[in-house]
Homo-oligomer: A and B are copies of this chain.
Amino acid sequence: MKIKILGHYTTKVGELWDKGLEDLLHEAIEGSLKNSDVNPDKIEAVYVANKASGQLNSQLHLNALASEYFEHYPPAMRVEGACASGGLAMIAAEQALLAGHYQTVLVVGVEKMTDISVAQTTEALSLAADQIRENGSTFPALYALLAEAHMKKYGTTREQLSATAVKNHAFAVNNPLAQYRKEISIELVNESAVIASPLRLFDCSPISDGASAVVLTSKEVKNKPEIAGFGHAQDSLDLAGRKSLTSLAATIKAGKQAYSRAGVQPGDIQAAEVHDCFTIAEILAIEDLGWFKKGEGGKATLEGETGKDGKIIINSSGGLKAFGHPIGATGVKQIAFLANKLEKGVFNLVLAHNLGGSGATAVVHILKNS
The segment out of A92-100, A163-171, A219-227, A292-300 that lies at the interface is A92-100
A78 and B80 in contact, given A22-B130, A54-B54, A360-B61 (Cβ under 8 angstroms): yes
**Contacting residues, chain B, for A55 (C-beta < 8 A):** 54-55
Is A367 in the interface zone, CB < 8 Å from B? no
In angstroms, Cα B105 to Cα A232, docked, is 14
**Contacting residues, chain B, for A95 (C-beta < 8 A):** 92, 95-96, 98-99, 101
In angstroms, Cα B60 to Cα A100, docked, is 31
Q: Tell me what chain A mostly uses at the interface: helix, strand, loop, or mixed.
A: mixed
This chain: how many copies in the complex? 2
B81 touches A63 (CB 8 A): yes
In angstroms, Cα B45 to Cα A95, docked, is 13
B99 touches A60 (CB 8 A): no
Q: Which of B52, B58, B98 contacts A129 (CB 8 A)?
A: B58
Interface size on A, residues (CB 8 A): 56
Which residues of A, 55-104, contact B by the 8 Å Cβ criterion? 55, 57-61, 63-65, 67-68, 73-82, 88, 91-92, 94-101
In angstroms, Cα B101 to Cα A129, docked, is 32
**Contacting residues, chain B, for A14 (C-beta < 8 A):** none
B59 touches A51 (CB 8 A): no
**Contacting residues, chain B, for A235 (C-beta < 8 A):** 73
Is A233 in the interface zone, CB < 8 Å from B? yes
**Contacting residues, chain B, for A61 (C-beta < 8 A):** 80-82, 127, 237, 356-357, 360-361
Apart from A68-B234, A96-B99, 14 more pairs, CB < 8 Å: A52-B54, A54-B54, A58-B129, A61-B82, A63-B234, A65-B237, A68-B238, A73-B233, A76-B234, A77-B80, A77-B91, A95-B96, A95-B101, A97-B99
